[in-house]
Amino acid sequence: MRKKEQEEMQQFDDAKRTFLSGENFYAQHLLGAHRTGNGYVFRVWAPNARAVFLVGDFNDWQGLPMEKDDASGIWQVYTDIVNEGDLYKFKVRQANGREILKIDPFAVRFEKRPDDAAELYNFPEKKWRDGLWRGRSKRSNAFKRPLNIYEMHASSWKHHEDGTPFSFADLKNELVPYLVEMNYTHVEFMPLMEHPLGRSWGYQLIGYFAMSSYYGTPEEFQDFVEACHLNNIGVFVDWVPGHYCINDDTLPYYDGTPQFEYADPDRAKNNRWGSINFDLGKPQVQSFLISSAMFWIEMFHIDGIRVDAVSSMIYRDYDDGPWTPNHEGGNRNFEGYYFLQKLNAVIKLAHPNVLMIAEESSSETPVTGMIESGSLGFDFKWNMGWMNDVLRFYEMDPVHRKDNFNLITFSFMYMMQENFILPLSHDEVVHGKKSLMHKMWGDRYKQFAQLRNLYTYFMMHPGKKLLFMGSEWGQFLEWKFDEGLEWNDLNDPLNHSMQRFTSELNDFYKNQTALWELEDSYDTIEIIDADNTSESILSFMRKGKRKKDFLIVILNMTPIERNDFHIGVPYSGTYKEVWNTEMKEFGGTWTKHNVDCQSEPIKFKEYDQLIKTTVPALGAIVLKPESINTRKK
Calpha distance 433→454 (Å, rounded): 17
Residues whose CB falls within 8 Å of the CB of residue 117, separated by 6 or more in sequence, listed in order: 56, 87, 88, 89, 103, 110, 111
Across 377-403, b (16+ Cβ under 10 Å) vs e yields: bbbbbbbbebbebbbebbebebeebee
Greatest extent of the chain over all pairs of C-alpha atoms, in Å: 91
| Spatial CA neighbour of 343 closest among 264, 278, 268, 247 | 278
Question: Distance between alpha carbon 542 and the CA centroid of its chain, in Å?
Answer: 26
Q: Where are the alpha helices (DSSP H) in 116-257?
A: 131-139, 168-181, 218-230
Active site residues: 308, 359
Determine if residue 332 is left, alpha or beta; phi over 0 gives left, psi from -120 to 50 gives alpha, anything else beta: beta
| Spatial CA neighbour of 45 closest among 69, 73, 16, 76 | 73
Using DSSP, state whether 347 is helix, strand or coil. helix
Q: Which value, to the nearest 10 degrees, does the dihedral of the CA atoms of residues 100, 101, 102, 104 take?
A: 150
Cβ atoms of 202 and 190 within 8 Å: the answer is yes
CB atoms within 10 A of CB 36: 10
Question: Distance between alpha carbon 134 and the CA centroid of its chain, in Å?
Answer: 20
